[in-house]
Amino acid sequence: MTEADPPPGAEDPFYLLDNVHLTSVGVDIGSSTSHLIFSRLHLRRETLELSSRFRLVSRTVLWQSPVLLTPYLPDGLIDSGAIAAFTARCHADAGIDPSVIDTGAVILTGEALKRRNARALADAVASGSGDFVCVTAGHNLEALLSAYGSGSVEASQRTGGSLLCVDIGGGTTKLALIRAGEVVATAAIEVGGRIVAWDADRRLTRVAPVANALMADAGLPNTPLPCASVSAASLPNASLPAGEALRPGDYFGPEAERSLAAVVAAQILAVPAGNVAGLRPDLVLTEPVWEQMVGLDGVTFSGGVSEYVFDRDRADYGDLGRAIGEHLREAIDRGVFGVPVLDPGQGIRATVIGASQCSVQVTGSTVAVRGASLPLRNLPVVHPAVDLAGDIDPFEVAAAIRRAVKAHDLPEDAAVALALRWAGPPSYPRLRALGEGIVAARPPGTGVPAVILLDRDLSASLGALLADELAVSGPLICLDNLEFRPLDYVDIGPPIWPPGVLPVVIKSLLFGSSG
């Protein structure tokens, strides 16, 4: 299907009221590799449940790029010119112009998101890829997307079982616990297949700081071990004192490769094999949720290193990936997990598939948008801790909103999106009390948009009440039928006509500052 091909049913106005077809792009700029994928998404209204909620019913890959080794400049920054040329070439080769892209995401992962120019690069790639392509970054989000993109969520949904998806990239390893098709916990650790890399002469071209810390765990001084066939005396760095850090240009022999890969593999195996005590605390990049990652029915692997685990690739790319994969295969053969190891279907492309196919939601069709200019990008999402199941007190609602905004270190008049979980009957007095609390929490005279995200089919009623009865100040955006995720920002796109739904991406923006 090309960009000119209309979706099935495009001429039927009744079909269009209940179906949305989106052309989506996903771009993954990672520590080791970068990829791009175009997808066609089909969402359908849950008409049998008398709801305005749209559910994703099918995903089709339209085109996927070759794998690009992420280009870096001599100063350690990502080569933005090479990335821009790569994405432009992908659009041309696929025959898909940025103007026909409805939505999508650019995600930076691992070491790439730490580079000083990462945010500017991601913004530039997103703006050149379509009108509503969002920038995302963060370990928990990457774990979530790789769990979906790898096929692990679908596998758990089919069986109703609990799976741990282990996604091994170049600089980080992500873990996602999936129970009955729902991702319930995510985490990340700072080990991967490209924490060191070398050229054809085995001279180091890249050394991540974590590599030197792990050299000691391997029982090695922080000096490279020469290959047996090379005379140590002939190596320029052979006389480095023990404890000297590895540096680009140093020789890194096969023995050191195998030893360091074994230590990295042990860290990757710690959680799925039930040996959390063996995990180095200084490698943990997220909130440790290891106590939840038990009671497994199976383990899946994705990411670049999984290509070696499942014997889909045997090439040597001048890094630890192949050796780590061999260690993991040996561990699987020994039965260290005590549960089956499953191939979920996607390996190195798991994150980019997740970014293209699983990052966007659409609202219900009964939204309330008044006086607002869309799209809105990078709005902080706050979750007021207020119980809406019983009697609703406007004063409690307002206080909960103020506390939530303050907890994010935001000024009182900051533009935020309020994420509210509704419970109980949608009666007028209850909705009115909620609306009064929302208005009371807004500083007087503010012109920032009032953005409310609901999980239930209530936005038209609440929006009308806020605008017509309570005269909320400033633009109003009230959206419903959204699935909340424990992430920090939201992008809201312009309406899709018909049926008048809005694309929404709930995401994280965790950029670093090194390099």
Based on DSSP, count helices (H) and strands (E) in the chain, helices before strands. Answer: 13, 21
Q: Is the pLDDT of residue 230 over 50?
A: no
Give me the DSSP letters along 189-216. Answer: ES--TTSEEE-TT-BEEEE-HHHHHHHH
Mean pLDDT of 13-39: 88
Q: How many Cα neighbours within 13 Å face the side chain of 51? A: 16
- Residue 45, pLDDT score: 83
**Which residue from 354, 381, 364 is spatially nearest to 482, judged by alpha carbons?**
364
Mean pLDDT of 363-386: 90
The answer to whether the beta carbons of residues 306 and 186 sit under 8 Å apart is no
- Residue 509, pLDDT score: 73
Options 3.30.420.40, 1.10.10.60, 3.60.21.10, 3.30.70.141; CATH for 13-139+353-357 is 3.30.420.40
Residues forming CATH 3.30.420.40 domain(s) in the chain? 13-139+353-357
Q: Round to whole Å and give the CA distance between 57 and 21.
A: 10
Q: 54-100 pLDDT, tens per residue?
A: 888 888 999 999 999 899 898 888 999 999 999 999 999 999 999 99
b/e per residue 245-265 (b: at least 16 CB within 10 A):
ebeeebbbbeebbebbbbbbb
Please give, one letter per residue, the 3-state secondary structure of 474-494: CCEEEECCCCCCCCCEEEECC
Q: Is the peptide bond before 375 cis (omega within 30 degrees of 0)?
A: yes
DSSP state for residue 179 in the 8-state scheme: E
Give me the DSSP letters along 253-298. Answer: -HHHHHHHHHHHHHHHHTTTTT-GGGS-GGGB-S---GGGS-S-SE
Mean pLDDT of 240-255: 77
5-9, 10-14, 19-23: least confidently modelled range: 5-9
Enumerate the β-bridge partners of residue 59.
41
Q: What is the pTM of this model?
A: 0.82
Tokens of 152: 């692990």
- Residue 432, pLDDT score: 97
The answer to whether the beta carbons of residues 403 and 410 sit under 8 Å apart is no
Tokens of 418: 């309020």
Give me the DSSP letters along 219-258. Answer: T--SSPPPPTTS-GGGSTTTTPPTTPPP-TT-B--HHHHH
Q: How many Cα neighbours within 13 Å face the side chain of 79? A: 16
Which residues, 6+ apart, have CB-to-CB distance to 46 below 8 Å? Answer: 53, 54, 55
User: For the structural domain made of 152-345, what CATH number should be given?
Assistant: 3.30.420
Tokens of 133: 């392509």
Mean pLDDT of 353-382: 88
Q: Round to whole Å and give the CA distance between 123 and 397.
A: 36
- Residue 357, pLDDT score: 78
